[in-house]
Structure 1
Amino acid sequence: MAVQDNIGERAPRASLLNDPVVRGIIYQVLVAAAVVAFISWIVLNTAQNLAAQNKSTGFDFLFRTAGFDISFTLFPWSRTSLYWQAFLAGLLNTLLVSIIGIFFATILGFTLGIARLSSNWLVARVATVYIETIRNIPLLLQLFFWYFAVLKAMPAVRESFALPLDIFINQRGLMVPRPLPDQEFVWVLVAIVTALIAAIAIGIWATRVRTATGRYPGQVVLAAKVADAIVSFLVALLAFSLLANMVRGISMPIMLGASVLVAAVSVTRFAPFGRATLAFVFGLTILYALLVAMFPAVPQLLIASGSAIGGLTMAWITFARATERPPSEGRFPFALLILIAVGIPSLVYWATGAQLAFEIPVLARFNFRGGVQLPPELVALVFGLTIYTAAFIAENVRGGIRAVSSGQNEAAQSLGLKEGDRLRLVIIPQAMRVIVPPLTSQYLNLTKNSSLGAAIGYPELVNVFTGTTLNQTGKAIEVIALTMAVYLTFSLLTSAFMNWYNGRVALVER
Structure 2
Amino acid sequence: MSQSTAIRRPATPPLRLGTLANDATVRSVFYQAVTFVCVVGLIWYLVSNTIANMATRGMSAGFDFLDVSAGFNIAFTLIPYREGDSYLRVFQVGIANTLLVAAIGVVFASILGLVVGLGRLSTNWLIRTLARWYVEILRNTPLLLQIIAWYFGVFNLLPLPRASVDLGGVMYLNNRGAYFPAPVPGEGFGLVLLALVAALIGAVLLHLWARQRFRATGRPFPSVLVGIALVLVAPTLVYLLLGAPLTWDWPVLRGFNFQGGFSVPPAFCALVVALSIYTSCFIAEIVRAGIQSVGHGQTEAARALGVKPSRTMRFIILPQAMRVIIPPLISQYLNLTKNSSLAIAIGFPDLVSVWMNTSLNQSGRAIPIVAMTMGFYCVVSLAVSFVLNSYNRRILLRER
- Does the 8 A contact of 1:168 with 1:175 survive in 2? yes
- Does the 8 A contact of 1:147 with 1:376 survive in 2? yes
- Whether 1:43 aligns to 2:47 is yes
Map of 1:440 onto structure 2: 330
Amino acid at match of 1:71: A
Q: Counterpart of 2:335 in 1: which secondary structure?
A: helix
- In 2, distance between residues paired with 1:66 and 1:434? 47
Amino acid at match of 2:180: V
TM-score, structure 2 length as denominator? 0.91
- In 2, distance between residues paired with 1:115 and 1:210? 31
- In 1, distance between residues paired with 2:187 and 2:239? 12
Match of 1:68 among 72, 76, 82: 72
Deviation at 1:343, TM superposition (A): 2.1
- Whether 1:361 aligns to 2:251 is yes
Deviation at 1:419, TM superposition (A): 1.0
- Whether 1:352 aligns to 2:242 is yes
Map of 2:282 onto structure 1: 392
- Matches of residues 102-141 of structure 1 in structure 2 within 5 Å? 102-141=106-145
- Whether 1:166 aligns to 2:56 is no
- Matches of residues 378-389 of structure 1 in structure 2 within 5 Å? 378-389=268-279
CA distance change for structure 1 residues 52 and 366 in 2, over 3 Å: closer, same or farther?
Answer: same
Per mean C-alpha deviation after superposition, the further-off stretch among 367-376 and 69-78 is 69-78
Deviation at 1:380, TM superposition (A): 1.0
- Whether 1:430 aligns to 2:320 is yes
For residues 13-41 of structure 1, the C-alpha deviation after alignment (integer angstroms, 9 at most, x for no partner) is: 75543332232223223322321222122
Q: Counterpart of 1:58 in 2: which secondary structure?
A: coil
- Whether 1:502 aligns to 2:386 is no
- Does the 8 A contact of 2:251 with 2:262 survive in 1? yes
- Does the 8 A contact of 2:206 with 2:223 survive in 1? no
- In 1, distance between residues paired with 2:266 and 2:93? 18
Deviation at 1:216, TM superposition (A): 3.1
- In 2, distance between residues paired with 1:9 and 1:32? 33
CA distance change for structure 1 residues 8 and 170 in 2, over 3 Å: closer, same or farther?
Answer: closer
Match of 2:378 among 480, 488, 510: 488
For residues 48-80 of structure 1, the C-alpha deviation after alignment (integer angstroms, 9 at most, x for no partner) is: 221221112210100001011111112232221
Q: Counterpart of 1:152 in 2: which secondary structure?
A: helix
Map of 1:258 onto structure 2: none
Match of 2:189 among 168, 185, 188: 185
- In 2, distance between residues paired with 1:29 and 1:345? 59
Deviation at 1:448, TM superposition (A): 0.7
CA distance change for structure 1 residues 462 and 9 in 2, over 3 Å: closer, same or farther?
Answer: closer
- In 2, distance between residues paired with 1:383 and 1:502? 28
Map of 1:418 onto structure 2: 308
- In 2, distance between residues paired with 1:181 and 1:456? 34
Map of 2:368 onto structure 1: 478
CA distance change for structure 1 residues 52 and 353 in 2, over 3 Å: closer, same or farther?
Answer: same
- In 2, distance between residues paired with 1:11 and 1:47? 50
- Does the 8 A contact of 1:184 with 1:354 survive in 2? no
- Matches of residues 80-119 of structure 1 in structure 2 within 5 Å? 80-119=84-123
Map of 2:7 onto structure 1: none
Map of 2:27 onto structure 1: 23
- Does the 8 A contact of 1:184 with 1:353 survive in 2? no
- Does the 8 A contact of 1:154 with 1:171 survive in 2? yes
TM-score, structure 1 length as denominator? 0.72
- Does the 8 A contact of 1:181 with 1:355 survive in 2? yes
- Does the 8 A contact of 1:174 with 1:374 survive in 2? yes
Amino acid at match of 1:421: R
- In 1, distance between residues paired with 2:14 and 2:117? 67
CA distance change for structure 1 residues 9 and 481 in 2, over 3 Å: closer, same or farther?
Answer: closer
Deviation at 1:449, TM superposition (A): 0.7
Match of 2:228 among 338, 344, 355: 338
Task: Give aligned-pair identity as a percent.
Answer: 47
CA distance change for structure 1 residues 368 and 21 in 2, over 3 Å: closer, same or farther?
Answer: same
What are the ranges of 5 or more consecutive residues in structure 2 without an aligned counterpart?
1-9
- In 2, distance between residues paired with 1:462 and 1:12? 59
Q: Give every structure 1 segment of 4 or more consecutive aligned residues whose post-TM-superposition deviation is greater than 6 Å.
A: 7-13
Map of 2:6 onto structure 1: none
- Does the 8 A contact of 1:115 with 1:123 survive in 2? yes
Map of 2:297 onto structure 1: 407
Amino acid at match of 2:41: A
For residues 88-136 of structure 1, the C-alpha deviation after alignment (integer angstroms, 9 at most, x for no partner) is: 1101111111111111211111222122112222222222111112111
- Does the 8 A contact of 1:179 with 1:359 survive in 2? yes
Q: Counterpart of 2:83 in 1: which secondary structure?
A: coil
Q: Counterpart of 1:358 in 2: which secondary structure?
A: strand
CA distance change for structure 1 residues 471 and 125 in 2, over 3 Å: closer, same or farther?
Answer: same
Q: Counterpart of 2:154 in 1: which secondary structure?
A: helix
Deviation at 1:164, TM superposition (A): 1.4
CA distance change for structure 1 residues 366 and 213 in 2, over 3 Å: closer, same or farther?
Answer: same
- In 1, distance between residues paired with 2:33 and 2:239? 66
For residues 337-396 of structure 1, the C-alpha deviation after alignment (integer angstroms, 9 at most, x for no partner) is: 433322222222222212322111111112110111111111111111111111111111
- Matches of residues 232-251 of structure 1 in structure 2 within 5 Å? none
- In 1, distance between residues paired with 2:213 and 2:41? 62
Deviation at 1:9, TM superposition (A): 12
Match of 1:377 among 252, 259, 267: 267
- In 2, distance between residues paired with 1:10 and 1:205? 63
CA distance change for structure 1 residues 28 and 362 in 2, over 3 Å: closer, same or farther?
Answer: same
- Matches of residues 233-312 of structure 1 in structure 2 within 5 Å? none
- In 1, distance between residues paired with 2:13 and 2:275? 71
- In 2, distance between residues paired with 1:476 and 1:95? 23
For residues 263-308 of structure 1, the C-alpha deviation after alignment (integer angstroms, 9 at most, x for no partner) is: xxxxxxxxxxxxxxxxxxxxxxxxxxxxxxxxxxxxxxxxxxxxxx
Q: Counterpart of 2:228 in 1: which secondary structure?
A: helix
Match of 1:450 among 327, 340, 348: 340
- In 1, distance between residues paired with 2:213 and 2:30? 59
